[in-house]
Amino acid sequence: MSLHAQYLESFLRSQFYMLRMDGPLPLPHRHYIAIMAAARHQCSYLINMHVDEFLKTGGIAEWLNGLEYVPQRLKNLNEINKLLAHRPWLITKEHIQKLVKTGENNWSLPELVHAVVLLAHYHALASFVFGSGINPERDPEISNGFRLISVNNFCVCDLANDNSIENASLTGNNFGIVDSLSELEALMDRMKRLREEREDEEASQEEMTTRFEKEKKESLFVVSGDTFHSFPHSDFEDDMIITSDVSRYIEDPGFGYEDFARRGEEHLPTFRAQDYTWENHGFSLVNRLYSDIGHLLDEKFRMVYNLTYNTMATHEDVDTTTLRRALFNYVHCMFGIRYDDYDYGEVNQLLERSLKVYIKTVTCYPERTTKRMYDSYWRQFKHSEKVHVNLLLMEARMQAELLYALRAITRHLT
């Protein structure tokens, strides 16, 4: 993240606030909730970090044996953790009512909002961790079983000068530089054409709706069709075995996004962004129930959405707004969130197939991300630009989860 210093500052401010500053939840609980969230994606890097923090802040060591050792109240977060992580559109006011109803294990609304913010933050951060290749591999030689080595030597970058990774990935694949250069030119060309077309004609509301529904439907099959055929199965075998040190923190480990796409029987409903926006609804609810976090999250969302250096690979003075917006909106599209004023035809024009596979994987099942997926899109782009993509995906995912959870809380209140 330090490749994007402005963003990093904003990220650390909000993370520090939710973990360390005054808030409804006791400090150890915050770290335990982070562990529960990271465990949905088997993210050992984050789990280990928060196991340490949990103990440092006075957490009861026995809780680390697994969910059957924690108070019922924390255990009750299981369902919302699972839904938020994989299918947030299923969260209803009934889930909220069940948690806040009177009784010895009930949650107050401020506590629940604090918990929801933590869960969404750590689900999304797991996407960033796997998308950037930061998860440790198991090592039986070491007492706690982990050492921090980057997956598949993923982070071969020299962070200071941001050079070696693109050279490594360009020489390491057989596409050749010519292909990836023409790929870059073609993308810039499409961006330019889209800008011009937008000035010439407006698509009708009906046409816009159709384009969204088409994109949403297609997004369901992006990975399930592609990945399992076009990548060797061995890429995934390790991920499918959930180790006990992770599974102890979750229930129903098999529940994920992809069952929903494969069976195809559940319909992914459309959430009209205009009906419940972060700016007009989510922000004020969060701020009212958990002071100041709304401002910090808002600053972070704006920061990542507007972050630009006006460069694309080797080109300077490029307006990348359309590209950033397509990335953000495509993530929301996979969660069923639609912006009335956005033409989803742009997503298809700007995001190539390999990039869609990458976005879908990092956002919906980050534990399956491979270096090969990372290398296969935008081959001319700098490592820092791909990290920028990961930041956009992470924040778009967090915002999508929050919108569904906060909408359910609002419905519970009205």
- The per-residue pLDDT for range 224-257, each reduced to its tens digit, is 434 443 343 334 434 445 566 788 999 988 888 8
Give the global pTM.
0.86
CA–CA separation, 161 and 300 (whole Å):
25
Per the prediction, the chain carries an average pLDDT of 83
Average pLDDT of the segment spanning 137-149: 43
179-232: pLDDT as tens digits: 666 788 888 888 888 877 777 777 788 888 888 888 887 777 776 434 443 343
What was the pLDDT predicted at 266? 60
What are the two backbone dihedrals, phi and then psi, of residue 227, each rounded to the nearest 5 degrees? -60, -45
Give 359-404 pLDDT, tens digit per residue: 999 999 999 999 999 998 988 899 999 999 999 999 999 999 999 9
pLDDT tens string 47-67 = 999 999 999 999 999 999 999
| Cross-strand pairs, 316 | 311
**Percentage, residues of the chain above pLDDT 90:** 56
Q: Which residues are catalytic?
A: 43
